Amino acid sequence: MLAKRIIPCLDVDHGRVVKGKNFKNIKDVDDPVRLAKRYSAEGADELVFYDITASHEERGIFLNIVENVAKEVDIPFAIGGGIRSVEDFRAVLLAGADKVSVNSAAVANPQLIEDAAKRFGSQCVVLSIDAARNEEGIWEVYVKGGRQNTHQDAVKWALYGQQLGAGEICMNSMDTDGVKEGYDIELLNTLNKVLSIPVIASGGAGKMEHFLEAFVNGKADAALAASVFHYEEIDIMALKEYLQKRNIQVRM
């Protein structure tokens, strides 16, 4: 069994790490490079940086931050937000990132996933999906930082992304995001029934038990979280020890 991954998520807005609740009430947290160094030292397996306003504001990615993070950390990290072309992939990877996460641009142009996977390899391509459940109980895809509902079935989109060549799916539940009451286990289970690539659980971590639930009940391959790490509510190594004692294989 592959080791489960613990991934701090850093939402970046104009050069600062921020955090909100249900994609609203955004508050300033810290400098992204300083926070990345802390997480690398504390035992995080990977990092994810999202430029949360790049797509909405139709501007490019923060390459200076990518370069500075690459100089300071020795664990893999992914960059998302404002990625619109294969050339954007190339620029981010050359700046030092290990993976590139696409969301809005992939919905607008699914061919981007296939083109990037063919050029750089599926291991570099993360399809990030922001999803919320509608009145019929179907999870729908949102883009532009959660501002726009595409009314597209999120599970079907994840499967299509896999077929196009995405190496993993990061599924962020907008319903549970920032609420700290646990990941959307039903959504994770639904995904794992149709996908063969790794699924990253995102949105809802509030305590260590939630990570355990995501791995055991949700069958997630990795768990992403933000505020519980940003505000030092959960220590990463303590979390790994907790999981290891419950027979979850993690990198120590």
Query: Catalytic: which of 11, 51, 88, 221?
Result: 11
Distance CA 153, CA 162 (A): 14
The answer to the question of residue 251 being in a domain is no
The answer to whether 78 and 25 are in contact (CB under 8 A) is no
The answer to the question of residue 250 being in a domain is no
The answer to the question of residue 22 being in a domain is yes
> Is position 130 annotated as part of the catalytic site?
yes
6 strand-pairing partners = 223
By residue range, what is the domain housing residue 32? 5-245
DSSP state letters, 42-103:
HT-S-EEEEETTHHHHT----HHHHHHHHHH--S-EEEESS--SHHHHHHHHHTT-SEEEES
The answer to whether 101 and 61 are in contact (CB under 8 A) is no
The answer to the question of residue 177 being in a domain is yes
DSSP-H helix ranges across the chain? 32-42, 54-57, 63-72, 86-94, 104-108, 111-120, 154-164, 185-194, 208-216, 227-230, 236-245
The answer to the question of residue 252 being in a domain is no
Tell me which residue of 81, 79, 3, 94 sits closest to 43, measured CA to CA.
Answer: 3
Per-residue pLDDT of the chain (252 residues; tens, 9 = 90+): 689 999 999 988 888 888 765 545 567 778 999 999 999 999 999 999 988 776 566 666 788 889 999 999 999 999 998 899 999 999 999 999 999 999 999 999 999 999 999 999 999 999 999 999 999 999 999 998 788 999 999 999 999 999 999 999 999 999 998 889 999 999 999 999 999 999 999 999 999 999 999 999 999 999 999 989 999 999 999 999 999 999 999 999
pTM for this prediction: 0.93
What is the pLDDT at residue 174? 94
What is the pLDDT at residue 57? 65
Here the contacts of 24-29 (C-beta below 8 Å, separation 24 or greater) are 29/230
Pseudo-torsion of CA 13, 15, 16, 21, nearest 10°? 10
> Is position 11 annotated as part of the catalytic site?
yes
Distance CA 199, CA 219 (A): 8
- Name the packing angle between helices 208-216 and 236-245 (round to 10°): 50
Query: Catalytic: which of 13, 45, 88, 130?
Result: 130
- Domain CATH number, residue 29: 3.20.20.70
Tally of structural domains, the chain: 1
What is the pLDDT at residue 53? 72
224 strand-pairing partners = 7, 202
